[in-house]
Structure formats: structure tokens, C-alpha cells
Amino acid sequence: MSGLMFAAAAGLPLAAGWSVHALRLARRIEAARRDPLTGLWTRDAFEARAAQSLSKGQQRAVLVLDLNWFKEINDTHGHAAGDAVIRATGMRLGVWAAGHHGVAGRLGGDEFAAVVDVCGEADTVTGNVSAKVLELIGSLERPVPFEGRDIDVFVSVGAARYWRGTADLSALLRQADEHMYRAKREGGGASIAPYFERTPALPTVHGRRYGRPGTTGKEVA
């Protein structure tokens, strides 16, 4: 064996070792960006992917959703039951978003978000968003089995339309959050913004609706 061939053969185990190490490192990095309970992207990872999704398409819907009466689930059935509901909600949302060429994430607590494709002409997009949101609610509001009993689940969903660069992700999430809160005040279901509203309908703190976790004041959602 020539010296060159010997050196190449000797380097094979080292190269293989580095490849395995790089693969393990990549998996650890991705795992750190996933919510351990639901498997969805965490807030920062979701926002990065959602912003990329908006940059590649002309028509998108940005959704924010929140579980109704989640505290009562924890108080009545225990925190393990609450975790089961969060897990099921995240998995159902992830499957639904993937089916609509989108991305989903858990923003924290019982709050989730998604960005999905919508199709059609400008005057039919709202109807398409409505159909998708109703489909999503039907999927999420199926009872969650837990220790031999079914736990009822109810959600509030807010949706904002993205149309050819009308706004950035932060503004769209803010508007979707406002409509989610509107739906929640009305007992649940969905509220869809018919067009982008540049001026916040509700007071904000650091770009977030006043009263949400992370802002000052009483938490209202």
C-alpha cells in the first residue's frame, strides 16, 4: 500500500467519527428547538420558519389559538390531564398544518400558532381561510382520552390574512391574537380579520396585547 493510500485509509475512521458527531449535534440542536411535550417548534424556531414561509408565498393565513377553560381542566382533572390535552392539541395542530403546507408552533402554555397556505383569488381568500379554520376547530375539539375518561376540549382561534407583503410576521401575529381574544370573549370558536389592520385594536406592550403573559397588567387570556 502506498503512503497516500495508507493515509487515506487511516483517515476514514476519523472522518466517519466526525460525521457521526456532526449528525448527533444537529439532532440535539433540532431537539432543543422542539417543545418537549408536543413536538412542535418552540416560539423562536416557529417564528423563524413562519417568517420564511411568508417570504416565499403570496397568500398565507396566520393563526393564533388558545384553549378555553384550560385552568379548569387542570383544577378538575389534574396537571397530568392538562399535559395530555396540550400534547393532543399540539399533535393535532401539527398534522393539520403539515396537511396545508404550513408550519406550527407552541408559543407557551396553552397558546399555539400556525402559518398555512390559502388558495384562490383575492375575493375568495377569506372564505378559504374560514373553511380551513373550521376544519381545524373540528380536529382540535375532539375529546382527549385520559385514564379511561374523555376530556372535552374547546378552542378560540384568531386568523389574519397575509397578501403579497401586506405586513410582517409580528404584526400578523398581533392581529391574529386580537381576533383570538375576540373569539374567546364570545365563548370560543373563530374570528377572522377581513383585512389587515395597521393600527392595533387593543392596547399593546412591546408589540404584544396588553395583559398577555410577558406584559405588565392583569393577564386576560
Q: Is 15 exposed, middle or buried (0-12, 13-18, 19+ CB in 10 A)?
A: exposed
Let me know: does 144 contact 150? Beta carbons within 8 Å. yes
Round to whole Å and give the CA distance between 177 and 113.
9
Round to whole Å and give the CA distance between 89 and 142.
9
Please report the sign of the dihedral spanned by the C-alpha atoms of residue 46, residue 98, residue 118, residue 142.
negative
Round to whole Å and give the CA distance between 173 and 128.
19
Round to whole Å and give the CA distance between 137 and 158.
11
Q: Does the active-site annotation cover 110? A: yes
Round to whole Å and give the CA distance between 164 and 149.
46
Let me know: does 93 contact 67? Beta carbons within 8 Å. no
Point out the catalytic residue in the list 66, 110, 123, 150: 110
The cell for 216 is 405588565
CA distances from 187 to 45, 88, 178, 190, 203 (A): 31, 21, 15, 10, 21
Which residues are marked as active site? Answer: 110
